[in-house]
Amino acid sequence: MFNETKKSIQWGNETLTLETGKVARQADGSVIATLGETSVMANVTFAKSAKPGQDFFPLTVHYQEKYYAAGKIPGGFFKREARPSEKETLVSRLIDRPCRPLFVEGFKNEVLVMATVLSCDLVNDPDVVAMIAASAALTISGVPFMGPIGAARVGFANGQYVLNPAMDDMTQLRNNAEQRLDLVIAGTKDAVMMVESEAYELTEEEMLGAVKFGHDAMQPVIDLIISLAETSAKEPFDFTPPDISALYAKVKAAGEAQMRAAFAIRDKQERTNAISAAAKAIVASLSEEEQADINLGSAIKKLESSILRGDIINGGARIDGRDNKTVRPINVETGILPRTHGSALFTRGETQSLCVATLGTGEDEQIIDALNGNYRSNFLLHYNFPPYSVGEVGRVGSPGRREIGHGKLAWRALQAVLPAATDFPYTVRLVSEITESNGSSSMATVCGSALAMLDAGVPLKAAVAGVAMGLILEDDGKWAVLTDILGDEDHLGDMDFKVAGTATGITTMQMDIKVAGITPEIMAQALAQAKDGRLHILGEMAKSITGPAKFSAYAPKIETMTIPTDKIREVIGSGGKVIREIVETSGAKVDINDDGTIKIASSDAAAIKRAYDMIYSIVAEPEEGHIYTGKVVKLVDFGAFVNFFGKRDGLVHVSQIAGKRLNHPNEILKEGQEVKVKLLGFDERGKVRLGMKMVDQETGLEITPEKESAEG
């Protein structure tokens, strides 16, 4: 019934298995990849013809995590998987980015890749397994895909690279003192195609070593996919890349001069309008048949690319007049918004980010419902890219894959310099509003967000800056690395390589390659130029940082205290009665963690003190010999009961009220009277014994025997 094929290798500490032919047989390609006990099914389907007039490659990748894979039921009201989570969106991008450049140029048939997590052992992260499964499914599907690609995760602990570290080591990287890197890499047998990383100030040499380590480690995976394809691949789809040489020659002859003049304009908007006008003029000069050719757009793009790339590779200036290593002019302003907790406007050339920092309490932490359990995040970064930032009209909706991906990249860049939660018990939310864009708005977000946090008084370990690098790589082997790329250089170039970090080291690195051919020499050059650019930007940022900023008057103040875990129930009270009373009485927010850490927050210092004192009176134990201020709550023949410590009462015996004999306590005291008492000790039944006569009732100081004799 089934024509099943299964291939396995030992990969690192686990067995990697690829199997096909049993499940989803109507898909063009279906592979289940299993690493340990983590299994991901990838299914590929593609249209056998392009839609009429289709002028782009419509590849769609969906990565889905099914909660049953980890034996969980989804949270929420509907109890089923709904819209993609942030991780699902990010992993979809991880699969798409290295695969997209490997489809044969000119192929414009619709392709759908779906990767579904079927089982998760909570040790092996399914993201790398999904990339391998998708690569294998594409390779055997018959689609014109010049793969396969392999993938691997690389850690760096105790000076050693680690292949595919466990999920627990990676999920909370900030809390892992030994693990300093979470890097995901994908590539072909000969070249690296994609890198995504989160690091703790690693050097350029250490990051380059991680890339080489990961590329070497994925080679057995590529061989395994090839082995599977040798027995299970379908016949290659009959597709011949279109020959656009004749059309390109006509396009070049019709509009090269006007297009070259357009690219010589320095201002982005003027240049964009001029390029658009040149393209329209080219189209107008062609015959109706040539205008209807679906490859016309590709021919015009090839002309644009040849102009931009040719000038640079031949040693000329870039389209904005810079050389290959110069960063565009930078302007920095902080504290520009009066009511926010922290703000910064970072402008680099024609790219601008307005970043705002907001400080919150434990109530503002984000609860993340993931396959490997629920956890809380006290650092949030949200990136917005409205149409007006590039002078366009467009729909505005919920965040797309670009917004989520760029926001996560900036998040990774900044997480390494955040203070420990014990030192700075705030939830920090950053929002980057991209108000202008012409290249690397994500790196502008990194710079602006660091400045906004410093403006808000967040004690960062160091400032962070980021820069985007580009590459022009020609068929004859000539190449040039570009610092701080423009949008056109990203669009028409061969690499988008973003590096962010402190003056000490790298905190994130993201690389996407559009051609299979980048060498270690090119990557080393890109890292070296990126370091120079990063240090330059940090120097410009430092001019606006005069020292630690004061907290905004509108930001909450937080004080922490730690109580024994067995006292948590007393502070909360039955049904939360006690904690509600504390909040209502004091006016402060109170957040209690399971480890006994309590965060008290308010913009009013007096409210924090009231809440602190109320909690302290519940959890602390009165100490023998200490003097307390209390209130008489009841008078009896043999003494007075005094409430002196929270809700603790004690007896002042009639003989301990005054330095003279009393027939009844009411001779001196009355109910509700405030008195100063000394804790004398506890009787055999644990009852509290208090005394008044040895305490000066006006000053609250103890009366020494010498003072008592002098007064007598």
Which positions make up the binding site?
490, 496
Q: Would you list which residues are annotated within the binding site for Mg(2+)? A: 490, 496
Spatial contact of 419 and 324, defined as CB atoms under 8 Å apart: no
Q: What is the dihedral of CA 631, 634, 635, 639, to 10 degrees?
A: -70
Quote the CA–CA distance of 325 and 42 in Å, as a whole number. 42
- Torsion region of 636: left, alpha or beta (phi above 0 gives left; psi -120 to 50 gives alpha): beta
Q: Give me the numbers of helices (H) and strands (E) for the chain, helices first please.
A: 17, 29
Closest CA to 127 of 357, 319, 372: 372
Other Cβ atoms less than 10 A from the Cβ of 242: the count is 16
Spatial contact of 598 and 591, defined as CB atoms under 8 Å apart: yes
> By CB neighbour count within 10 A (0-12 exposed, 13-18 middle, 19+ buried), where does 687 fall?
exposed
- 3-class DSSP assignment, residue 563: coil
Q: What is the dihedral of CA 391, 393, 399, 401, to 10 degrees?
A: -70
Other Cβ atoms less than 10 A from the Cβ of 333: the count is 15
Instruction: Round to the nearest angstrom and report the end-to-end CA distance of the chain.
Output: 110
Spatial contact of 544 and 537, defined as CB atoms under 8 Å apart: no
Quote the CA–CA distance of 505 and 201 in Å, as a whole number. 4
Q: What does 636-676 look like in DSSP terms, one character per residue?
A: ETTEEEEEEETTEEEEEEGGGTSSS--S-GGGT--TT-EEE
